[in-house]
Amino acid sequence: MNKKDFCRKPRKMCPPATPDEHIEMGNETISELELIDNLASGAVKRLKLVQGEDLKFCIYIQLSWKGGDLLLETQRKKPRVWSSLDRLAKHINSKYGSVPVVELYLWSKESNGKNRRC
């Protein structure tokens, strides 16, 4: 391990789900490049923007040829999160262009445990 990796601070994710817990829960992931390819081929049914308990947003993707939702992940296999809905909307418009359907799930104390987690 070199000094750069040793001194690097860990990035915060949407708690309490870690990537390992996410995989254990039976959820699958998709990379940004795969998402762009599937959008170009028309295979994406919808994007679900989900706010976690820490008030950060992540994206779940539903594909026409695959059952269930896929969590968008980074190249380092961590969930891709945004602190602001405005920044997430700008990212979707600039990177993905036209998307079929977008659903928004906001976190609240009453729905604790019912909404998906990042």
Domain ranges (residues) in the chain: 27-103
Round to whole Å and give the CA distance between 112 and 16: 12
Residues of the chain with pLDDT under 50: 1, 5-20, 22-25
- What pLDDT is attached to residue 118? 72
- What pLDDT is attached to residue 109? 77
- What pLDDT is attached to residue 113? 57
- What pLDDT is attached to residue 110? 75
Round to whole Å and give the CA distance between 21 and 33: 23
Q: What is the CATH number of domain 27-103?
A: 3.30.720
Rounded to two decimals, what is the model's pTM? 0.72
User: Quick one: how many helices (H) and strands (E) in the chain?
Assistant: 4, 6
CB-CB contact of 4 with 107 (8 Å): no
- What pLDDT is attached to residue 45? 95
- What pLDDT is attached to residue 67? 84
Q: In sequence order, what are the residues at sequence separation of 6 or more whose Cβ sits closer than 8 angstroms to the Cβ of residue 80?
A: 32, 58, 59, 72, 73, 74
- What pLDDT is attached to residue 115? 58
- What pLDDT is attached to residue 34? 95
